[in-house]
Chains A and B, each alone.
Chain A
Amino acid sequence: MVKRTTVIKNKTGLHARPASDFVQAASKFKSNISICRVGEEDDEVNAKSIIFLLSLGLCQGDEAVVSASGEDEQEAVDYLVELIESGFGE
């Protein structure tokens, strides 16, 4: 399993369109991918689910952990963390 911690950069947080972008990106990988808020690892959710992702309510400045396990786990985590750090083009 691969894990990386990151900080939400964009103003609107992981809501609305950035959330859709994230879920769409996650769904392209074969690995199981999860995301959670730092310190709330018990509440990690399926990163391919828009509903669960929105329920996390990740806002600008929040710290999050992206983890993946499967054949493309490294690429998946790197790609998704970069996507978050790019600020979703905002």
Chain B
Amino acid sequence: MRIYGGDPVSKGIAAGNVYKYVPYEADVEQNQISPDQAEEEVRNYRKAVAGAEAELASMREAFSREGSDQGAIIGAHMEILNDPALEEMVTGFIRAELHNVKWAIDRSFTKFIKMLSRVKDDMIRERIADMKDVRNRLLRNCDGVEERNLGALTKPVIVAAKDLFPSDTASLNRNMVKAIVTETGGATSHTAIIARSYEIPALLGVANVMELLEDGEWICVDAIDGILAADMDSEKIEEYREKAEKYRIKTLETKKYLKVMPVTLDGVPIDVELNIGSASEEELEAAAYTDGVGLFRSEFLYMGRDRLPSEEEQTEIYTRVLKAFGNRPVTLRTLDIGGDKNLDYMELPKEENPFLGNRALRLCFTYPDILKTQLRAALRAAVAGNLWVMFPMVGSMEDIRKAKALVKEAQSELTEEQFSYGEIKIGIMIEIPSIALIADMAVKEVDFASIGTNDLCQYTLAVDRMNPSVSKYYQKYHPAMFRLIGHIVKTFNDAGKPICVCGELGGDELGAAVLMGLGMRKLSMGQASVAQTKKMITKMTMQRAELIAETVCNLSTEEEIVNYLTEALADIL
């Protein structure tokens, strides 16, 4: 048996035959044509351009149908295709040097790419990738070959690829793709997002997958434990089949809970809120069955582009989210970059310890205009709904006061400029132990707080969560975590101010019950965890949750806690 590991970005198990997806590569030969063939070749070129244009147009249509923002990529390709210099050079090569059309196209692009390679700029490199994409599209059209895309599959397969581009996934036929395996990409990649929304199991980041797998070979993709298995004996195959079946039944069963009211057996309502990372239709659909947005990550507005988003642009997007949720709260986390997240257009100095460095709110204090623009947009959008604004990486009372002063500044600017704006609640993300320990003071300065358990864990346990060599020290069920969270919840509950968990623990199968027992009445999570968490809530009583929480806080190791919870919750899981 051969086993390979990968990052399970979209859960599920599937088995089937491998379909190696390799984009079309045209043969380009240099042929001399006779002068009377030149006009024919120019016509062939125009035909290829028209074909390429039609393909791009239909792709653009598909993107806008899905409400995807990937249309910009198509725009860039169109722009290259219609560049007058391209037309001039290709037809020049055909007419003056009597090149055949494919050679003329290839030579023109080679020249252009060489020209661009001399420019020292990251963004140009992306444009070179675009140029290569357009070149291949044109050459394929010259060959009269239809686009080999994932929409044309006729039997169900497991797609293996180096990488999938938006133009590939846009046309993907979801009924024919049992699983996706790629060499590149992570949990936030385009492929991952599409795979999750189509509920296709996906394993990304499988090293050398194209060399390791044979076309047509039968494999099993276990995107629960992150394993790809090939050459299995019948016993192993049976084992996977059972696991897949169990998973299928469990998901079906859990799905029934997606739209129930999250109330415990003894009548205590728990707010189940949503973590969102864009304002896509897919995410906003969940407004129908959740109690609000507990974490609106605003980074997507800033990433994957070439400049800061304008105030207008932000106002529009925040308004869209607020409207989708009506009077339910939408918690907007202000820009959280630095650490592991960077912006292409902002050169940030390299730091020895980026997670302990100038990130999130600290970075915003270095560039207050960026934060102020965001706050102005948030305030203006607030007229459309119930907006809560939350600051990340708060470590001290000064941080809170400084952030609040910026809100005031933004408000008086807006008043002066005669913009109307709405009321907002101001809160903090609790992810640094220092602010957790002085929660009694912090609570007086804010309207609410939300616990970011991923960073809280990394800072409490002193573990860099991006460093694989210390990953075993990153223990999200460490007893210290539950004690610390318990302290924060009690402080906020005593003060009568909302407290929420929006980290991974909030939607965790084992963690959610403990949090409820600690007094948490608001949990926020990714859409994928909603059904499972609601199931937990509706089968739980407060008395039972409290007993569980108390026991957990008095167990001494993570291992003991996991074993205990797995057993104590066995009837619900």
Contacts and interface: CB of A to CB of B under 8 A. Distances in A.
Instruction: Report whether chain A binds chain B.
Output: yes
Contact of B85 (A12, A15, A49): A49
Contact of B123 (A10, A12, A46, A48): A12
A11 B85 contact: no
A54 B79 contact: no
A89 B127 CA distance: 22
B306 interface: yes
B120 interface: yes
A90 interface: yes
Interface stretch (B111-119, B153-161, B191-199): B111-119
B361 to A, nearest CB: 23
B397 interface: no
Contacts of A20: 75-76, 79
A10 B308 CA distance: 12
B307 A51 contact: no
A51 B124 contact: no
Interface in A34-53: 45-46, 48-52
The main secondary structure of chain B at its interface with chain A is: helix
Contacts of A18: 306
Contacts of A56: 119
A15 B115 contact: no
Interface in B173-220: none
Contact of A17 (B118, B124, B307): B307
A13 B93 CA distance: 32
Contacts of A23: 79
B80 A51 contact: yes
Given A89-B310, A90-B307, A57 B119 contact: yes
A59 to B, nearest CB: 8
Given A12-B306, A16-B306, A17-B307, A50 B119 contact: no
A86 interface: no
A35 to B, nearest CB: 13
Contacts of B123: 12, 15-16
Interface string B88-116: 00000000000000000000000010011
B345 interface: yes
Given A12-B345, A15-B121, A49 B307 contact: no
A55 interface: yes
Interface string A1-44: 00000000011110111101001000000000000000000000
B306 A49 contact: no
B115 A55 contact: yes
Interface in B309-335: 310
Given A46-B84, A50-B83, A11 B116 contact: no
Interface size range of chain A in the complex: 20 to 34
Interface residues of B, number: 24
Nearest to B308: A90
B72 to A, nearest CB: 9
A78 B285 CA distance: 48
Contact of B83 (A11, A12, A49, A90): A49
A51 B131 contact: yes
**Max chain B C-beta neighbours (<10 A), residue from A46, A54, A59, A90:** A54
A51 B131 CA distance: 9
A51 B306 contact: no
Interface in B267-320: 306-308, 310
A57 B83 contact: no
Contacts of B79: 20, 23, 50
Contacts of B119: 54-57
B127 A11 contact: no
Contacts of B131: 51
B121 A51 contact: no
Contacts of B85: 45-46, 48-49, 51-52
Nearest to A24: B79
B306 A17 contact: yes
Interface string B411-436: 00000000000000000000000000
A15 B83 contact: no
A44 B120 CA distance: 19
Contacts of B83: 49-51
B84 A49 contact: yes
A54 B306 contact: no
B348 to A, nearest CB: 14
A56 B85 CA distance: 14
Contacts of A55: 112, 115-116, 118-119
Contacts of B308: 90
Closest 6 A/B residue pairs (Cβ): A49-B85, A57-B119, A16-B306, A55-B115, A15-B123, A16-B123
13 contacts: A10-B307, A12-B307, A12-B345, A16-B307, A45-B85, A51-B83, A51-B86, A51-B116, A55-B116, A59-B121, A89-B310, A90-B307, A90-B308
Interface of B: 75-76, 79-80, 83-86, 112, 115-116, 118-121, 123-124, 127, 131, 306-308, 310, 345
